Structure 1
Amino acid sequence: MHFETIAIHDGNTPESCTGSVTPPVYQTSTFARPSLDERGEFFYSRIGNPTRSALESTLALLENGKHATTFASGVAAMMAAMQVLKPGDHVVSSLDVYGGSYRIFEQLMRPWGVETSYAASEATESYIECIRPETRMIWIESPSNPLLQICDIRALAEIANERGIVLAVDNTFASPYFQRPLDLGAHIVVHSTTKYLGGHSDVIGGAVVASDDNLNLTIRNYQGAAGAIPGPWDCWLISRGIKTLKIRMEEHQKNALHLARALEKHPAVSRVIYPGLESHPQHELAKRQMSGFGGMLTIALKGGLPAVRKMIESLKLFVIADSLGGVESLVASPARMTLGPLSQAERDRRACTDDLVRLSIGLENAEDLEADLLQALATI
């Protein structure tokens, strides 16, 4: 079946008892056992819940994976993926990664005995240079946050397979509609389902998708043992969001491309970063491994932080917020918000400069969004 058919129908068959077209929310902590010596498929909601299982089935199919495991947040999902590591192992990560991912590497994994080296996100050779004998995982975001750099997933998968390394891809920005890393050779795909999969800025969640049975067993065991599970209402909301994922992603992309082209011409803008623009350094790579370019774009302003502050605070439709991927347009300063807790030296190393503005383009009318951006830029 096609993507949108799976998104609407898998895990969403009419409920057998009443015929309800919308699947029920199984808001229960425990399930009755048939007898002392028997138990059904579901017996305790930390271990399994029908609402959660329906979501996991859909996510696995959408990513062309065999297994999906859901969690209470995107970083909880990342921590689950990290369970394939042990003290003494080494990770090679993209340099341009989400601040929460960086904190996991440096504040949680390093004290546990797992070291991380950071490679130039867009340069495959940089990952090779960072690999050690003890390297067990390559962790990438593509497109990355906030610089929208593109990693060559297929090339990195070949390198990982040659060396017995697990390749994990954070696919949050692209969504499974625009990119399927498992098809390109990745071993693990991670999502913050808070973002495009949920799509309405009303739920927090995460997911890990894999096809390897042993990897899945490690991740699934962690889910039950650590209890970092999403509640059934959270799963229901994400499942509801997935039903319109195709339509939303196409509109996000259409609006983002329209605005990226308009902003490239603006005298106050020194740079527009969007994989769908021919000016993007990895535009051809993005075309090869993605079926679309997503709804995120980043711009740099000529006036630095004062210009950023003036522009952001003058916007009327764009909401100043730390998240992304919702139906409404959001704006953030990476240097002051999402990566604000990092030291100035670390932000400099990542090229997260004060002049950057990250835009999560929503589903409003593109002309209205353009008018809002132009009036805000005119105040600088």
Structure 2
Amino acid sequence: MATTDDPSYTRPTRLVAAGRPPALPDAPLNEPVTFASTYHAGGDRAYGRYGNPTWDAFETVLGELEEGRALAFASGLAASGAVLSLLPDGAAVVAPATAYLGVLDQMRELRDAGRIELRQVDVTDTAAVAEAAEGAAMVWLESPTNPNLEVADLAAIAAAARAAGALTVVDNTFATPLLQRPLELGADIVVHSATKLLSGHSDVVLGAVVARGDEVFARMDAHRRLHGAIPGPMEVYLALRGMRTLSVRLERAQANTAELVRRLRDHPAVERVRHPGFGAMCSIEVAGGAAGADRVVGAVGLWVHATSLGGVESTLERRRHWPTESDTVAESLIRMSVGIEDVEDLWADLARALDAA
């Protein structure tokens, strides 16, 4: 009988089939939620901070998709914090000039405490990233970047980082393993905010780390155990349930995004459209600066003015309203997460807001 790791199975099939309980008579199809802090002695789990059957199912699915070993964390920032804990004091870290502000804030905190040297670069400039990697301990990448949606040459940068002796970490939240698999391109670690596209329903806060090698996996597992950055079993159950439909959600959202991008490029109120050519994210820079962008996000009705992304509903926000957002992000930039609504309804609502601005 074929198993879920059979190479003939595609990733959309693995999303549905992996991480299931044994197919026994009267057994449930889905891994149930296990609410337990204490286990009978004699096994490997031992205690609720060390493992949970619901975590195991989620980690199995994500690990198969990314071709690595996955661990669930309490949030995306808990996951990134665990990865940054790998750095020794005084280490140099290469990071994007523009990236998710929470991760950059974590790095800045370490820099300001004298723990690390932070080297920020344009990740689209492969030569500049390779140069910055010399003498560094870690190269942290987003591709596409948040919110400018710049694309890095992951394979070339990972090769340069490896030659320099640096770990390569890739935040794969925007692309998901259905569109991009950094470990196959040479990265050492993948990070996800599973809050976003993986879970897909705006009802979960969850993070994940996927490691290529056993040593990094063991260190991440030890960090989770020691520092208690563990997820709740209900959150993991919801994320796994959401992941089962990732393929069809992403297919619809990606098609909607492509059509909206095509129309946005012709709208007179839009000065620039940022889109990497794939995925469910795009950003626009609108006429009128920050005030113009604020008018647009305040005028939508179907679109939701909110900070998160990756849900079935379409959301948007002006990113520079956050005080620590990078100054490489335009004041007028609106980040848009496209959902699965009818594209004609999305366009009608967005066009009205742009016309009114």
TM-score range, shorter chain: over 0.9
* TM score, norm. by length of structure 1: 0.89
One-letter amino acid of the counterpart of residue 301, structure 1: V
| Cα separation, 2, equivalents of 1:270 and 1:234 | 40
| Cα separation, 1, equivalents of 2:305 and 2:271 | 21
1:218-367 counterparts in 2 under 5 A?
218-276=219-277, 293-336=278-321, 340-342=322-324, 347-348=326-327, 350=328, 352-367=329-344
Partner of 2:5: none
The number of aligned residues is 349
Displacement after TM superposition at 1:126 (Å): 1.6
- Write out per-residue CA displacement over residues 256-279 of structure 1, whole angstroms, 9 at most, x where no aligned residue: 000000000001111111111xxx
1:196-211 counterparts in 2 under 5 A?
196-211=197-212
Do the aligned partners of 1:26 and 1:51 also contact (CA within 8 Å) in 2? Answer: yes
Do the aligned partners of 1:120 and 1:126 also contact (CA within 8 Å) in 2? Answer: yes
Partner of 1:173: 174
One-letter amino acid of the counterpart of residue 126, structure 1: A
1:114-125 counterparts in 2 under 5 A?
114-125=116-127
- Write out per-residue CA displacement over residues 298-355 of structure 1, whole angstroms, 9 at most, x where no aligned residue: 001121112111111110011111100000000110101xxx122xxx733x2x1211
One-letter amino acid of the counterpart of residue 347, structure 1: S
Partner of 2:353: 376
Secondary structure of 1:359's counterpart equals: strand
Compared CA separation, residues 265 and 318, structure 1 to 2 (3 A): same
Partner of 2:4: none
Q: Percent identity?
A: 41
| Cα separation, 2, equivalents of 1:137 and 1:107 | 16
One-letter amino acid of the counterpart of residue 249, structure 1: L
1:91-130 counterparts in 2 under 5 A?
91-108=93-110, 110-111=112-113, 113-130=115-132
Q: Which runs of 5+ in 2 are unaligned?
A: 1-8
Displacement after TM superposition at 1:109 (Å): 5.2
Do the aligned partners of 2:133 and 2:161 also contact (CA within 8 Å) in 1? Answer: no
- Alignment equivalent of 2:31, drawn from 14, 23, 41: 23
Do the aligned partners of 1:42 and 1:50 also contact (CA within 8 Å) in 2? Answer: no
**Runs ≥4 in structure 1, deviation > 4 angstroms?**
14-18
Say which is worse superposed, 255-264 or 206-215, in terms of deviation: 206-215
Displacement after TM superposition at 1:164 (Å): 1.3
Displacement after TM superposition at 1:98 (Å): 0.4
One-letter amino acid of the counterpart of residue 323, structure 2: P
One-letter amino acid of the counterpart of residue 49, structure 1: N
Partner of 1:41: 44
